[in-house]
Amino acid sequence: MADKYAKAVPVLVYHSINHCPGRWTVSPANFEAHMRYLVHSGYTTLHADEFAAFIEGKTALPQKSVLITFDDGYLDNYVYAFPVLERLSLHVVIFAVTGWVGEGPTRPHAGMGKSETLPECLDQRASEKAITEGCADAFVLRWSEIKAMEASGVAEIHSHTHGHTRWRRQYPETRVRVARLEEDLAQSRAVLREHLGRDSSHLCWPFGYYETRFVEAAGEAGFSVLYSMHRGVCTPRTKPACVPRIEIKDVDVPSFARQLWIYSRSWINPVIRVRDKYFYRHLFRG
């Protein structure tokens, strides 16, 4: 009976889904192939609170369970990923930068038919450049699109902070840096509550960067499950303050399946720690 339940759950990270090649971009064709593999292989896609209950040891999950996350909240998540997820009845978590999200009607997406002219979507690096130049609405989700995805059951939205700040670079002094973070988290939480009518306990760190005091500030703000960019396996022994994830690149299905298999094994974490310790020891020796 125990074999029917998950001992470890992979947490996947996507960023952009569109036709522009880039380090953090997955093509629509490969993304759909990944999602079809999950369906055909019998995977259960989790909600954030289901995942949290699992790592806290409060619930058992089906053996093939996976949490799919998206960082930043780019428009292409709606244009290209949403119709695939809706068609396949899958669920994802989108960590949106609340300060980037704008107002306005929903735009066309790829599931609406060939007669629709789809919005331009850039790779992540180009999108970030456009956002810094004041063009966020052209490349980031609107609240109307977020609400449409939530209403469909395909997605749930949580915080990727309000400003997506490079904290140490912008605020070198620790005291100032932590104070600005506290203001940012409070604002992000308030914006999500205003637009979605609920509080979120899930927070993803921009660029995967955080400090000990950041974790304390997040807890004080009401965020209890904090997502990193560390690679690793999630089990009932995983600390909610540092959830590891696996960044998914623009790879074919065999490569995608291999990563799922590896990070569904609870014994892989000690191997990762030994590998990283060996790598850094030899790196700094040279």
Where in the sequence is the domain holding 60, given as residue range(s)? 2-285
Contact 177, 217 (CB under 8 A): no
What's the confidence (pLDDT) of residue 285?
41
- pLDDT, position 271: 52
Average pLDDT of the chain to the nearest whole number? 92
pLDDT value of position 201: 96
Specify the pLDDT at position 278. 43
Rounded to two decimals, the pTM is 0.92
pLDDT of residue 113: 79
The CATH number of residue 113's host domain is 3.20.20.370
pLDDT confidence of residue 280: 35
Q: Which residues of the chain register pLDDT less than 50?
A: 1-2, 273-286
- Separation between Cα atoms, residue 15 and residue 25, nearest integer Å: 6
Q: Which pLDDT value is given to residue 269?
A: 65
- The number of folded domains in the chain is 1
255 burial level (CB within 10 Å; 0-12, 13-18, 19+) = middle
Half-sphere exposure of 30 (CA within 13 A, CB side): 20
Q: Residue 3: its pLDDT value, please?
A: 67
Nearest to 201 by CA among 71, 49, 61, 46: 49
**Contact by Cβ (8 Å): 146, 106:** no
* pLDDT at position 243: 97
